[in-house]
Each structure stands twice: as structure tokens, then as C-alpha cells.
Amino acid sequence: MVLSPLTTSLPKLQLKPGRWTVGSAATCSYRIVAEGVRPRHALLLCGGQTTLLKAWDTHTWHNGQPVHGEVRLQTGDRVTVGSVEFTVEPAGPVVVERAPSPIRSSSEPDGWDLERLRGQIQDLRDELSQRVSRRQAAIPAEPLIETTHPDVERMSARVVELEHSADEARRLLEQTQQELSSLRAEQAERDA
């Protein structure tokens, strides 16, 4: 699929598999500098057969309706980001030069970074356990001398660091979800 702006001043965005951040920040994979577009406005999650639009700002619309959470995009849909309107078209030529964003910030409200950190922690634990097992198997049956190998110390420190990062990411995720709930409640009161 292609996200095609109704204004000619912006390039089309071919929705290849990956994560596409949308907003006015220079770090976004699809940058839109226009009225009402926030630095981190929305996220497009593109898989093989499915593309999801996740709203990070309340001024994100899908087919004339505000996006609350996420929606699945289909050919023919209309998407509005701030003051810029797009149509979703069948795949066409690649126009945007930036690649999809890597998972990089624990402040993203989708929890993906937290899962990535958990996976890294588990990988490090597994690797550490395998190394310890191999070393123990290689140690002769003589009395052990209490020493710690530098690799084990370094990996243990890295595990502690990643666990701390995961805790921080979890705290930020909870804080963001609370803020989002509060903003939704305020919006509901305004809409009522």
C-alpha cells in the first residue's frame, strides 16, 4: 500500500514492512511539517498483509473518525494527520528515501521497547548460564578457587543494567498510559 498525500508538496509513502514514525520531528521516518502535526504524531506498523495506524495525537483521523488506539488501514481509506489528508492506495513506486524506524525509545507508548528489553535480558541470562555451565564442566575436580571471570562480571552487570532499563521502560509505559487515559477522558468530556 501507499500513503498518498492530497497535497503535492509531500512525497508518497510506500508502506513496506516495518515501523514508520509520522510527525514533524526530524527523527521521524515520514516527516510532515504542517499545521497541527506534532513531532511524534502517529505510528504505522506494516506487516505482510496488515498495516495498522496508531495515534499518538488526538488529531489523527481515519475515514472521518478520530483514531482511538489503532485502526487497520485498507486501500481507499482516508487518513488525516494534523491538517494533512492522505488516501491509502495500492502499492506503487517507492518515493520516500528513509527506512522504517528501528525500535529505539522506551517512551513510545506501544510497549514494544519493553518487550525487546525483556528479550535481551533473557538472551543474556541464557548466554551467561551456558558460559557458566561450560566453564564448570571444564574445571577439574580439584578444590575450587573463588575467582570470578571478567566476562561473567561484565555480563552480570549488563543484565542488571537491562533489568533497570526494563523497569524504567515499564514505568514510562504506565505513565504514558495514564496520561493517555486522562487525555481521552478530557476529550470525552469536551465531546459530550
Give the tens place of pLDDT for each residue, 85-137: 999 998 755 444 444 444 343 344 444 556 666 666 766 776 777 777 777 76
Q: Which amino acid is at 108?
A: E
Cα–Cα distance for residue pair 191/145, rounded to 1 Å: 71
Residue 111's DSSP bridge partners are none
* Cell numbers that stand for 9 in this block: 508538496
The CA angle 44-48-49, to the nearest 5 degrees, is 85
pLDDT per position as a tens digit, 49-58: 889 999 999 9
pTM for the whole structure: 0.49
Cα–Cα distance for residue pair 20/22, rounded to 1 Å: 6
Cα–Cα distance for residue pair 95/97, rounded to 1 Å: 6
Cα–Cα distance for residue pair 69/141, rounded to 1 Å: 60
Is residue 146 over pLDDT 70?
no
